């Protein structure tokens, strides 16, 4: 595996491919064996890796062995280890053997299924797996291809939001004319992911027309129909057009749940597009006991969730379903000469779709094979077990936090996310905030776990999001021991 | 590798991972050994794979062996084989051993480097490789991080276009107010990729404000400064604002080249954002003899090209450089509480960037490690040899087509793309068009090669795009033999 003679360069020679890929598999298996030995959150001096590497790409090729040695020495120590069993930050990003196998098939076959002809089975497999996923989540028939809707695999929720916003916008502008863009208003809660506001900005909604509606502890920080109704009425009275409402199942900060059915009734009344963002918690909906959160989904225009978070599917994979695909393809279609199908066109049916018209980009990866391998390898039963296992761990963690009088659970747990803080009785609010900041810094600096935070009603809360592929009960127990240890040290100094 | 007992499910168990991943490596090596035995372009009955697969995901997990058997039996025959050495359609999508190794590392480490803290070395490695690439292409200092600009890895050119359009738009609207969006005009040629118009539509530019400027054979279908100047003057006279001009190096239809320097002068005069889309031909610019096409790039605001096309980098990878990153981050930044860095913030420098503010989505893959592995494994010399090898093959093909009096090269070859047609002297124009359609259908239906077409000045031309990782001279020769064989059959029937 030394440097290559230039003229003989055969970049897909099967023997070289097998040898070098095998070496990477071994490298990664070893990484998984040892991932819990690295500090979970990396904290290098900024710029240190840039100082370490040369200014230019090498003139001559180097061996894969040498490159892997450098990954080991220079790269691994500077990564934050999302696959560590003690990674409890943000939301999980599950890797799995099946997700990896699917990703390898996607990357190895390396087809680009932007139109049906460019890889027919890749397009059709995607239609099959998004229908499978829709069934698994218990989504209404109208989001299935067989029910007149349909789904697509994107890379991220933001892309799903941009595409559906563009669809809703163009549907509205077809009646209002383009100058109507200044009247379009979008609605979300103060718990909705920042991605939504960014998406609205990307599609040209005036910043003055983003409504960020207040939520409160009474509704568990879920958006209520009353709040939306009032905001919409005010806007309509001012001659504005209520375009799009984003409801979230399992917000990023707290795991809050917007009530889809009641929001759906308001949206229907005003012809407002209702999107359900279930990026994180949508995975839980494969278990019947969590499908109630999607009650009323038949009132929505679109739904999205990310198997790349908590459903064993390596980055990236976001399912988006729409009830009326034509609305989306009207906004996103192109038909350049160089992509037209010559010869096969007569065979096309209304079932034959070109996924380039369901997304932002023209090019796309064969993500469907990845999700298909995951669903087949683990089966519905295996995936439900995966979700329930983490929920049980989070339940346990919530229980022990609640039982320790120095701590409090700040909002009731949803799914596998626990939001808590250290709350010594004797301490003032201001001091409590800095105490928890210090606690989080100490926990993360230990290298033994990584958690992130949120601020709600002025309270600084620590988030423990369970869901790693390798996270077992002992790691959650370890996190609790670590938190208590650091809390003790801090309280001893008070 | 049978079905998994649910309670013991360990989706990243290192031994299972190594075993199953090894099986996929073997499967793919075998695929490469045999890829030239499949019809290059698949042409199944629409819906056939959907009929073949069950209606729902299985309840119980299945073995990886069984899944791979199904890929072999049900999936491979329905794919269009982009890695076939006789794939000459669209533009190439290079897979390589190094690109695959890099993709495995990205998928296996599965970190999500949206902010610096979320994986410091992943962010910094990206800064290093985009600077390496900028040097390789001979881009002006202003697009390097060390020159005050900087780059990012996106998934597609369309994303690069959307982000830079949003940047240009918001820079303009900060002066005009949001109602100014109705005055913004974007410019491209009739050869520019459809993706540009789609991008402009996504960011809310009024469809009436897309200017599609005519090109002609005299300029090799490149956009001229005069044409742009006239269009811009007319718009300015009508009170409109010339926002954004897209120049292309190597258009999709014909490989045409817009002259950057002269377009740059016009753009500068009107404060218009100039983007250079070198999606395909940017790869050639790693060879000094092709860098002249980028002459005048210092007048541009942004440049993009796709290593996932012709530079040995498996899908997906698009380099975008901007001269003034603040313009882009002003348009795309978000700062939600749950992503703030607690504790480490004091270490941040102006060098520390959060790539979420350079792209559409929040989440992102560790693409940098893929491009870094490719650059190191093959070296600058290896990659130049890869490009030049294909250029030589295309030169040969152009020569033999030109030498056969029944054929004509419709536009002079650029890079590795040859646009030609069958042109028997005795035949009328209308008949020539259908003759070439039939020729293309016959060539593709043979399964021995796959080409696509374009229409220019009413002429139906066949495109032969050389660039596959496994394409050797014998495959290009075989394509020419195939074309002559099918042409003979068609002409015999005339």
Q: Which of A104, A203, A373 to mutate to test the interface with B (most CBs of B within 10 A)?
A: A104
Residues A219 and A304 in one domain: yes
What gap in Å lies between CA A389 and CA A284, rounded to an integer? 11
Residue A106 lies in a domain: no
Which of the two residues, B3 and A179, has the higher pLDDT score? A179
Is residue A392 less than 8 Å (CB to CB) from chain B?
Answer: no
User: Distance between CA B252 and CA A338 in Å, rounded?
Assistant: 8
DSSP alpha helices (H): ranges in B35-63? 48-52
A80 vs B: CB within 8 A: yes
The predicted structure's pLDDT at residue A1: 38
A362 in contact with chain B, both atoms CB, cutoff 8 A: yes
Closest residue in B to A252 (Cα) is: B338
Total tally of structural domains belonging to chain B: 2
ipTM tops 0.95: yes
Question: Could you list the mean pLDDT of each consecutive 10-residue stretch along chain A, which spans 494 residues?
Answer: 58 97 98 97 90 94 97 96 98 98 98 94 97 98 96 98 98 97 98 95 97 97 98 98 98 97 98 98 98 98 98 98 97 85 61 92 97 98 97 98 97 97 91 96 98 96 98 98 98 86
DSSP string, B110-124: ----SSGGG-HHHHH
B352 reaches A (C-beta below 8 A): yes
Q: In whole angstroms, give the CA distance from residue B133 to residue B138.
A: 8
Token output for B254:
């014909």
User: Which chain B residues are within 8 Å of A47, Cβ to Cβ?
Assistant: 124, 349, 351-352
- Same structural domain for residues A334 and A391? no
Residue B115: the pLDDT is: 94
The Cα A313–Cα B302 span in angstroms is: 34
Is B331 a residue whose pLDDT tops 60? yes
Same domain for B384 and B361, yes or no, is no
Residues B356-407 have pLDDT tens digits of 999 999 999 999 999 999 999 999 999 999 999 999 999 999 999 999 999 9
CA atoms in the 13 A half-sphere facing the CB of A369: 32
Q: Is residue B153 part of a domain?
A: yes
Nearest CA in chain A to B109: A83
Q: Given B334, B365, B396, which residue is the final one in a domain?
A: B365
Residue A470: the pLDDT is 97
Looking at the fold, whether A352 and A392 belong to one and the same domain comes out as no
Gap between the Cα atoms of A348 and A346, Å rounded: 6
Write down the pLDDT at residue B349: 62
CB count, 10 Å around CB of B360?
A: 28
Question: Does residue A89 fall inside a structural domain?
Answer: no
Q: Is residue B238 part of a domain?
A: yes
Quick one: average pLDDT of B203-213? 97
List CB contacts (< 8 A) between A110 and chain B: 82-83, 93-95, 314-315
Alpha-carbon distance of A444 to A463, in angstroms, equals 12
Task: Tell me which of A334, A365, A396 is where a domain ends.
Answer: A365
Same domain, B280 and B234: yes
Contacts of B17 in chain A (CB under 8 A): 25, 28-29, 32, 97, 100
Token code pair at residue A340: 């037209």
Please say whether the beta carbons of B489 and B442 come within 8 A: yes
Contact A475, A448 (CB under 8 A): no
- Token readout for B339 is 């992503």
User: What one-character DSSP code corresponds to residue A75?
Assistant: I
Compute the distance between CA of residue B108 and CA of residue B398 in angstroms, rounded to an integer. 43
| Residue from A77, A318, A341, A360 to probe the interface with B (highest B Cβ count within 10 Å) | A360
Mutation test of the interface with chain B: which of A1, A16, A198, A464, choosing the one with the most B Cβ atoms within 10 A?
Answer: A198
List CB contacts (< 8 A) between A83 and chain B.
12, 109-110
Q: Does B164 touch chain A (CB under 8 A)?
A: no
A46, B347: Cβ pair inside 8 Å?
yes
Return d(Cα A181, Cα A173) in angstroms, integer. 7
> Which single residue is written with the structure tokens 């308001």?
A266
Tell me how far apart the alpha carbons of residues B328 and A157 are, in angstroms, rounded to a whole number.
Answer: 20
Q: Does A52 touch chain B if contact means CB atoms closer than 8 Å?
A: no
Given pLDDT bands bounded at 50, 70 and 90, which one contains residue B1?
A: very low
Nearest Cα residue to B278 out of B234, B315, B247, B254:
B247
Question: Is residue B192 situated within a structural domain?
Answer: yes
For A385, the closest chain B residue by CA position comes to B6
Do B403 and B268 reside in the same domain of the chain? Answer: no
Whether A169 and A331 have beta carbons less than 8 Å apart is answered as yes
Residue B201 pLDDT level (bands cut at 50, 70, 90) = very high
Residues B424, B331, single domain; the answer is no
Out of B67, B253, B312, the one facing A377 most closely (by C-beta) is B67
In a domain, A54, yes or no: no
Size of interface A-B (CB pairs under 8 A): 576
Distances (CA, A) of A334 to A168, A273, A337, A440, B201: 18, 23, 10, 49, 11
pLDDT at A128: 97
Comparing CB atoms, the residue among A6, A82, A445 nearest residue B382 is A6
Nearest chain B residue to A21 by CA distance is B101
Does residue B467 lie in a domain region? yes
Q: Does A110 touch chain B (CB under 8 A)?
A: yes
A266 and A337 in one domain? yes
Boundary residue ending a domain (A322, A337, A365): A365
Are residues B352 and B421 both part of a single domain? no
> Are B243 and B134 members of one domain?
yes
How far apart CA A101 and CA B108 sit, in angstroms, is 10
Reported as a single tens digit per residue, the pLDDT across B156-166 is 999 999 999 99
What pLDDT does A493 receive? 81
Predicted pLDDT at B2: 46
Q: Which residue of B has its CA nearest to A145?
A: B50
- What local confidence, expressed as pLDDT, does residue B84 receive? 98
Provide the CATH number for the domain around residue A283.
Answer: 3.40.640.10
Residues A198 and A291 in one domain: yes
Does residue B19 lie in a domain region?
no
Residue A2 confidence (pLDDT): 46
Residues of chain A found within 8 Å of residue B44, distances taken between Cβ atoms: 120-121
Q: Which of chain B's residues have a Cβ under 8 Å away from the Cβ of A355?
A: none
Per-residue model confidence as pLDDT tens digits over B44-95 = 999 888 888 999 999 999 999 999 999 999 999 999 999 999 999 999 999 9
Residue B334 banded pLDDT, cuts 50, 70, 90 = confident
Domain span at residue A407 reads 379-492
CA distance A11 to A13: 6
**Residues 325-344 (B) with a CB less than 8 A from some CB of A:** 331-332, 334-340, 342-344
HSE-up of B125 (CA within 13 Å, CB side)?
26
Q: Which of A274, A290, A270 is nearest to A282 (CA)?
A: A290
The answer to whether B153 contacts chain A (CB < 8 Å) is: no
Residues A137 and A223 in one domain: yes
Q: What CATH number did the domain enclosing A392 receive?
A: 3.90.1150.10
A56 touches chain B (CB under 8 A): yes
**Helix residue spans in B55-119 (DSSP H):** 64-70, 97-109
Instruction: Provide the token pair at B277.
Output: 């889309």
């Amino acid at each position: 595996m030394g440097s290559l003679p230039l003229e003989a360069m055969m970049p897909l020679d099967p023997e070289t491919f097998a040898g070098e890929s095998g070496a990477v598999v071994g490298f990664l298996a070893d990484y998984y064996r040892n991932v819990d030995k690295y500090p979970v959150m990396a904290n290098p001096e900024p710029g240190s890796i840039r100082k370490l590497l040369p200014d230019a790409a090498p003139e001559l090729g180097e061996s894969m062995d040498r490159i892997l040695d450098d990954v080991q020495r220079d790269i691994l120590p500077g990564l934050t280890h999302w696959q560590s069993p003690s990674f409890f930050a943000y939301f999980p990003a599950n890797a799995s053997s099946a997700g990896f196998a699917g990703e390898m098939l996607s990357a190895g076959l390396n087809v680009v299924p932007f139109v049906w002809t460019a890889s027919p089975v890749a397009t059709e497999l995607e239609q099959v797996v998004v229908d499978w996923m829709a069934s698994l989540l218990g989504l209404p028939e109208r989001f299935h291809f067989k029910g007149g809707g349909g789904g697509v695999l994107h890379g991220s929720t933001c892309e799903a939001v941009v595409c559906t916003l563009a669809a809703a916008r163009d549907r509205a502008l077809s009646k209002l004319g383009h100058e109507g863009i200044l009247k379009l208003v979008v609605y979300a809660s103060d718990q909705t992911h920042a991605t939504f506001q960014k998406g609205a900005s990307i599609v040209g909604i005036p910043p003055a027309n983003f409504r960020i509606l207040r939520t409160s502890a009474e509704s568990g920080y879920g958006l209520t129909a009353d709040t939306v109704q009032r905001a919409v009425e005010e806007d309509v009275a001012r001659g504005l057009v209520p375009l799009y409402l984003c409801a979230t199942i399992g917000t990023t900060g707290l795991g809050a749940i917007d009530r889809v059915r009641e929001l759906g009734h308001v949206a229907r009344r005003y012809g407002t597009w209702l999107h359900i963002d279930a990026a994180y918690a949508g995975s839980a909906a494969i278990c019947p006991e969590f499908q109630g959160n999607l009650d009323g989904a038949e009132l929505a225009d679109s739904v999205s969730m990310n198997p790349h978070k908590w459903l064993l599917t390596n980055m990236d994979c976001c399912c988006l379903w729409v009830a009326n695909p034509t609305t989306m393809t009207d906004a996103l279609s192109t038909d350049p000469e160089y992509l037209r199908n010559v010869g096969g066109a007569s065979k096309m049916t209304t079932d034959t779709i070109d996924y380039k018209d369901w997304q932002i980009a023209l090019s796309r990866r064969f993500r469907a094979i990845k999700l298909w391998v995951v669903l087949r390898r683990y089966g519905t039963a295996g995936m439900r077990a995966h979700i329930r296992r983490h929920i049980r761990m989070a339940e346990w963690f919530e229980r022990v936090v609640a039982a320790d009088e120095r701590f409090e659970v700040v909002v009731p747990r949803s799914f596998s996310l626990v939001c808590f803080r250290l709350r010594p009785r004797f301490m003032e609010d201001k001091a409590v905030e800095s105490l928890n900041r210090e606690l989080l810094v100490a926990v993360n600096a230990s290298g033994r776990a990584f958690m992130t935070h949120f601020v709600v009603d002025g309270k600084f809360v620590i988030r423990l999001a369970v869901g790693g592929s390798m996270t077992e009960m002992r790691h959650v127990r370890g996190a609790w021991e670590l938190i208590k240890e650091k809390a003790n040290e801090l309280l001893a100094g008070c």
